[in-house]
Structure 1
Amino acid sequence: MFFKRKGWLRKEYDESFLKTFNELKDKWNKKEVIVERSVDPSDAVLVDMKLAKVKYLFLLKEAKHRNISIRKMS
């Protein structure tokens, strides 16, 4: 009885995790496009892009640790 709830909660948190993962991926891609299109990007823009990349890579490692398939939600 209790184990079913655990599986349900895991699915709910995995879905939330994947939603956050996709949002960070989109933010990183948008910032990367801005840097590529700009002639002389400011330091703040470069820092924002690198920070978004690091957050994305962290969540990617976390997904691997949790054994979450990124493909299933794309």
Structure 2
Amino acid sequence: MLFKKKYALRREYDAALLKLMTETKGKWEYSKRIEHSVIEKDSLLFAQTKLAKAKYFYLFKEAKKRNIKGDTSTLEFFK
């Protein structure tokens, strides 16, 4: 019984991590599009893009460490 609860909790947190990865990837893609479409280069915009990228790759490493497989290519956050 204890293992079933542990497995269910792990699945729940894995799903939450994948959802967070999808949202973070969407924010990163959106930041990249904004950065490429802006004529004047702004250091704050550049920093926000780098931060979004760093967040996504941190979550990616965590998912890899936890051996989570899933699809984060569906961008539901920004379309």
Q: What TM-score, normalized by structure 1, do the two folds share?
A: 0.93
Per mean C-alpha deviation after superposition, the further-off stretch among 45-54 and 62-71 is 62-71
Matched, 1:15 2:15: yes
CA-CA distance at 1:73 after TM superposition: 8.7
- List alignment gaps of at least 5 residues for structure 1: none
Larger fraction in helix: 1
Higher relative contact order (CA 8 A, sep 6+): 2
2:59 aligned partner, one-letter code: L
Q: What TM-score, normalized by structure 2, do the two folds share?
A: 0.87
Task: Give the CA RMSD over aligned residues.
Answer: 1.6
Structure 1 residue ranges (4+ consecutive) displaced by more than 6 angstroms after TM superposition: none
CA distance in 1, matches of 2:49, 2:18: 20
Identity among equivalent pairs (%): 41
CA-CA distance at 1:50 after TM superposition: 0.2
Matched, 1:68 2:72: no
- List alignment gaps of at least 5 residues for structure 2: 75-79
